[in-house]
Amino acid sequence: MTVSSYNPADPDDLVVAVEAPGAEAVRAAVGRARAAQPGWLGAGAGARSAALGRIAEAVEANAEELAALIVREVGKPLAEARGEVARTAAIWRYYAQAPYEPSGAVHETAAGPGLLLTRRRPYGVAGLIAPWNFPLAIPSWKAAPALAVGNTAVLKPAPEATACALRLAELAGLPADVFTVLPGGAEEGAALVDAADVVSFTGSTGVGRAVVRAATGRGVPVQAELGGLNAALVLPDADIESAAAHIAAAVAGYAGQKCTATSRVIAVGAAHEPLREALVKALAAVDDAVCGPVISAAARDRVTEAVSSAVAAGASVLTGGRVPERTGWYLEPTLLADVPAEHPLAREEFFGPVAVLHAAADLDEAIALANDTPHSLATSVHTRSLDVALAAADRLDAGMIRVNAPSSGVDFHLPFGGTKGASHGDREQGRAALDFYTVSRTVSVLPGGGA
């Protein structure tokens, strides 16, 4: 099978085509990574820290080339692509300090002399499976902490982001078999889950559930970050213009292809009319510099078909809804109202620049509506009231709660993940990632006697 990726803004532009290596090659790569792991761990904190720091420098030194590759391979608007490259360098630099972090604690013995210690140790080979939408940042926020604590890593990128991942491994320049990128699809991904010692997955809910089952069945630790269906709550006391600008960015930025994108807008009470007006205006003003194409013709058609079926079921299109006549897989940023509660547009992630506007009588109804989804990753709340912000932080069932900010937005130095079906296992990013890629051992050191 050939793995190929095409430019979403110009589908005739083939970015890369490589032969998928097959399951046996994955097993062999994991075997080589396992053999390389003791040397990588044994090289010590200083060597690992220096190596990760050099990756940050290499990413920075090639920033413009990498940003252009992201634009070409996954259709990300240039400003966001530059932002992703800068974040990628920052991730490697942040985790370059991690090898020096304390790896355990000292405890008192219950009685008598001695030392009781905990010490975190790497598992061996980290199997990393990534989606295409953050083609450098997601592989990096998985690989950097895994490598920092002394695992070796094998990454299976999404087919649509193959060129970015291969370039990252090349720039990383780590010793042989310490960080391997193996292109491929489901076969290679499944083989990696069957062979690795710890598994980190980001992608769609269906695939993620299968990965969790397979890894759990083998008894290896697994984390999975999956799809979201994220809401934005707007209270009548909010700065409506600013809320509309944030929400338009979260709905249409990168064509809605962020797991933290907003797809449900919940206007509370008197906020409804002014928000509807401001949001329609803000979405209609979104241009290519913000939105860009979606990843494939199939992704575009899935959205347009859902919009048509929602309209047939009584929904109204407040703005957008059409496919512009131009080359590339573009879609107009779209806002709908009166979408029936059970319609897929109100229940499922579409990963396109499309959102549904709902009205809620009060905060309680808005929170109930926001929580009525199995996939809560990020929810934004727009208000000037501290009481509302605190109530939302207490009662919203989401992994990330963002007050007066777009739902899309991630700080790599804090734990990241969702609630309910949006996540499985430990958090990614921040210090939480260092715990995920290590297991704690308890060491008792007692006197040998005689001295």
- Residue 295 to residues 6, 160, 169, 213, 337: CA-CA distances in angstroms? 9, 8, 23, 28, 25
Q: Is 225 a catalytic residue?
A: yes
Least Cβ distance, residue 258 to ligand NAD (angstroms): 7
One-letter-per-residue 3-state SS of the chain: CEEEEEECCEEEEEEEEEECCCHHHHHHHHHHHHHHHHHHHHCCHHHHHHHHHHHHHHHHHCHHHHHHHHHHHHCCCHHHHHHHHHHHHHHHHHHHCHHHCCCCCEECCCCCCCEEEEEEEECCEEEEECCCCCCCHHHHHHHHHHHHCCCEEEEECCHHHHHHHHHHHHHHCCCCCCEEECCCCHHHHHHHHHHCCEEEEECCHHHHHHHHHHHHHHCCCEEEECCCCEEEEECCCCCHHHHHHHHHHHHHHHHHCCCCCEEEEEEEHHHHHHHHHHHHHHHHCCCCCCCCCCCCHHHHHHHHHHHHHHHHCCCEEEECCCCCCCCCCCCCCEEEECCCCCCHHHHCCCCCCEEEEEEECCHHHHHHHHHCCCEECEEEEECCCHHHHHHHHHHCCCCEEEECCCCCCCCCCCCECCEECCEECCCECCCHHHHHCEEEEEEEECCCCCC
Which residue lies nearer to ligand NAD by CB, 15 or 388?
15
Nearest to 40 by CA among 168, 141, 181, 175: 175
Least Cβ distance, residue 431 to ligand NAD (angstroms): 17
Least Cβ distance, residue 168 to ligand NAD (angstroms): 14
Half-sphere exposure of residue 185: CA atoms within 13 angstroms, side-chain side? 10
Which residue lies nearer to ligand NAD by CB, 379 or 383?
379
Which residue lies nearer to ligand NAD by CB, 193 or 278?
193
Least Cβ distance, residue 239 to ligand NAD (angstroms): 29
Which residue lies nearer to ligand NAD by CB, 99 or 421?
421
From the candidates 73, 80, 84, 259, give the one annotated as an active-site residue.
259
From the candidates 73, 188, 225, 349, give the one annotated as an active-site residue.
225
Nearest residue to ligand NAD by CB is 189
Least Cβ distance, residue 417 to ligand NAD (angstroms): 7
Tell whether the torsion through CA atoms of 237, 243, 244 and 247 is positive or negative. Answer: negative
Which residue lies nearer to ligand NAD by CB, 40 or 416?
416
Q: Is 349 a catalytic residue?
A: no
Enumerate binding residues for ligand NAD (CB under 6 A): 129-133, 156-159, 185-186, 189-190, 193, 202-204, 207, 210-211, 225-228, 259, 349, 351, 377
Which residue lies nearer to ligand NAD by CB, 328 or 421?
421
Least Cβ distance, residue 104 to ligand NAD (angstroms): 29
Which residue lies nearer to ligand NAD by CB, 129 or 267?
129
Which residue lies nearer to ligand NAD by CB, 189 or 328?
189
Catalytic site residues?
225, 259
